[in-house]
Amino acid sequence: MELDKMDENDWRYHGEGNKSLVVSHVQLSRVLRLLKYPAEDSENPPQTPEQAFRQIQSIVDFSSKVMSSLLGEKFIHSGEVVKLPLEFVRQLSIRVQHQRPAWRCDKVMDIYSGCALCLPNLTSPALHQPTHTPPLCIEIKPKCGFLPSSKHVSKDIKTKVCRFCMHQHYKVANGKWKRRSLYCPLDLFSGNKQRMHFAIRHLIEEPQNNFKIFKGGQCIYSSKEGSDDSMDLNSLLHHLRPYFLYGNNRINSHVTGKAVVNDFIQVLVNALLSGGGGDGGVVTDRCGEGRSFCEASLFNKERIRHGSQGLPSDSVLSRILQTQMLDTLDIEGLHPLYRRVEQHLQDFPKERTRLQIDGPYNQAFLEKLQKCPAEDDGSVDFAVAKVHQYRVAMTAKDCSIMVALVPGPEEEEEEDEGQRWLRDFLSSRPPAFSYSVSILDLDPKPFDGIPRQLRLDQRIVSCYSRTGAAAPKASLPPPPPPSAERDDCTLLFHPV
């Protein structure tokens, strides 16, 4: 990629979040992640090009020097900052505008700094052979996977119902989403395959901003405003079917839609429980018992047939959960420490640098949070270490996982799709995929964002106490008998 010869026609809109907009190259496996600003600042960018460059460099440093050490290097692609021609960025912004979802257009793409983060395109991984079936990539934003146990938690409900499930009520009440997602992160992070299956099924049913599927680099399934949901599910089945034409669920050589989805979820669960890449071999070294249940989850505990399995310690979910759990005090216990630091900075503004409040994100920053004493000695250093831990945990609560599934074992590259189908059909074995697992969106959360966290926490809990606790638990059909091993994953699909 030659930065001085950039052509906007080589790039297409790929996706966006709250802070950045991502475009992908039409041929190379590369994306550019550009910053966004509130639309009202569009004429007047909030930072200079130098500041934008430093902000993106600090994202790279935070990811490569802090998060990568906590989450495991094998999952992380930190990328590099690039300087782009301003005319290219301006044209690109015009080119992608019509593809942007309306609800994200309260922010505009930064066209002034010319800076962007260049990353590998995790939805069209390099291990894909262009002549073969395109990879399926599944993006999950799992959110917080544990219930707080801090003594500072003032509302009992927070120790029983997870943040995500409570937040759903708040989001629906405030019009962010039309209906609640019944996904519960505690089920996904449980390590129990039945619970994980159940969680993913609900991500598929109501993806919101927590679930997307890409095929060959193109998004084929995500939350679509105002669309006909059944159409989306049917079109998802249409895409998935060729990947799951075989396996245990074949009935007279016809694979039902339910079986396709069950196989798909099973492959995804295996990838999430793996050590990060490979062919789904036996998982060993499981750490911990399955963690707690959320009272709002619809998963019926009685139906666990294989006990609590816990997460394998080298799995992506385990690494994310361990990092999230650096939030030991909960926002309610953390906020007074934040105030201690804030007061100290008001009294001694120059301390901001020594305490690395805004970075640099390096080994020293990592050590500050790793060597935090267990007990509060009243010092500002203790408070800063806890704040750093909390911010790192926040990043882990907001990151996404990308699982890339490439059909067929690598050693049988010469086989075409039909031959592979016949071989798998005859052997009736479960689908074989090579896969890789990555973590994305590992940006540092700002120090000044902590008071907002406290306010949001209070609003979510208060909204849930008013509306959620009284809401009906579910509108799902009654569960099938326990013997129907595969049927507990029934999706509300329309026939195709």
Ligand X SMILES: Nc1ncnc2c1ncn2[C@@H]1O[C@H](COP(=O)(O)OP(=O)(O)OP(=O)(O)O)[C@@H](O)[C@H]1O
Contact footprint for ligand 5MY (CB under 6 A):
17-19, 167, 209, 394, 398, 445, 449, 456
Window 365-424: residues binding ligand X (CB under 6 A) = 398, 400
Do 198 and 486 meet the contact criterion of CB atoms below 8 Å apart? no
From the CB of 400, what's the least distance to ligand 5MY, in Å? 9
From the CB of 126, what's the least distance to ligand 5MY, in Å? 27
Residue with tokens 């016809």: 254
Residue 8 binds ligand X, judged by CB under 6 A: no
Q: Of ligand X, ligand 5MY, none, which one sits near residue 449, judging by CB under 5 to 8 A according to partner kind? A: ligand 5MY
To 10 degrees, what angle do helices 450-463 and 163-173 make? 80
From the CB of 431, what's the least distance to ligand X, in Å? 23
* Rounded Cα gap, residues 441 and 248, in angstroms: 36
DSSP SS3 for 9: helix
From the CB of 177, what's the least distance to ligand 5MY, in Å? 9
* Rounded Cα gap, residues 254 and 265, in angstroms: 19
Task: Output 167 or 212, the one with its CB closest to ligand 5MY.
Answer: 167
Window 209-228: residues binding ligand X (CB under 6 A) = 212
Residue 167 binds ligand X, judged by CB under 6 A: no
From the CB of 324, what's the least distance to ligand 5MY, in Å? 11
| Count of residues of this chain found to bind ligand X when the rule CB under 6 A is applied | 22
From the CB of 141, what's the least distance to ligand 5MY, in Å? 6
Report the residue from 1, 3, 18, 446 that binds ligand X according to the rule CB under 6 A: 18
Do 160 and 295 meet the contact criterion of CB atoms below 8 Å apart? yes
* Rounded Cα gap, residues 328 and 84, in angstroms: 41
Residue 488 binds ligand X, judged by CB under 6 A: no
* Rounded Cα gap, residues 234 and 30, in angstroms: 30
Closest CA to 184 of 298, 95, 24: 298
To 10 degrees, what angle do helices 257-273 and 229-240 make? 70
What is the number of the residue whose Cβ is closest to ligand 5MY?
18
* Rounded Cα gap, residues 172 and 149, in angstroms: 27
Q: Of ligand 5MY, ligand X, none, which one sits near residue 20, judging by CB under 5 to 8 A according to partner kind? A: ligand X
Residue 153 binds ligand X, judged by CB under 6 A: no
Q: Of ligand X, ligand 5MY, none, which one sits near residue 445, judging by CB under 5 to 8 A according to partner kind? A: ligand 5MY
Report the residue from 8, 15, 388, 406 that binds ligand X according to the rule CB under 6 A: 15
Written as six digits, the tokens of 425 are 């059909």
Task: Output 121 or 190, the one with its CB closest to ligand X.
Answer: 121
Closest CA to 301 of 186, 201, 210, 202: 186
From the CB of 183, what's the least distance to ligand X, in Å? 16
Task: Output 17 or 333, the one with its CB closest to ligand X.
Answer: 17
Residue 110 binds ligand X, judged by CB under 6 A: no
From the CB of 198, what's the least distance to ligand 5MY, in Å? 20
223-245 burial: b if 16+ Cβ within 10 Å, else e: beeeeeeeebbbebbebbbebbb
Listing DSSP states for 410-478 in one string gives: GGGTT--HHHHHHHHHHHTPPP-EEEEEEEE--PPPPGGGHHHHHHHHHHHHHHIIIIITTS-S--PPP
Q: Of ligand X, ligand 5MY, none, which one sits near residue 22, judging by CB under 5 to 8 A according to partner kind? A: ligand X
From the CB of 320, what's the least distance to ligand 5MY, in Å? 14
Closest CA to 142 of 191, 73, 79: 191
Written as six digits, the tokens of 449 are 């964002």
148-160 burial: b if 16+ Cβ within 10 Å, else e: beeeebeeeebeb
Task: Output 6 or 392, the one with its CB closest to ligand 5MY.
Answer: 392
Do 427 and 468 meet the contact criterion of CB atoms below 8 Å apart? no
From the CB of 467, what's the least distance to ligand X, in Å? 25
Task: Output 373 or 446, the one with its CB closest to ligand X.
Answer: 446
- Candidate ranges 114-122, 178-186, 285-293, 427-435; the one touching ligand X (CB under 6 A): 114-122
Q: Of ligand X, ligand 5MY, none, which one sits near residue 119, judging by CB under 5 to 8 A according to partner kind? A: ligand X
User: Which residues lie near ligand X (CB under 6 A)?
Assistant: 14-20, 22, 31, 33, 119-123, 139, 212, 398, 400, 440-441, 443
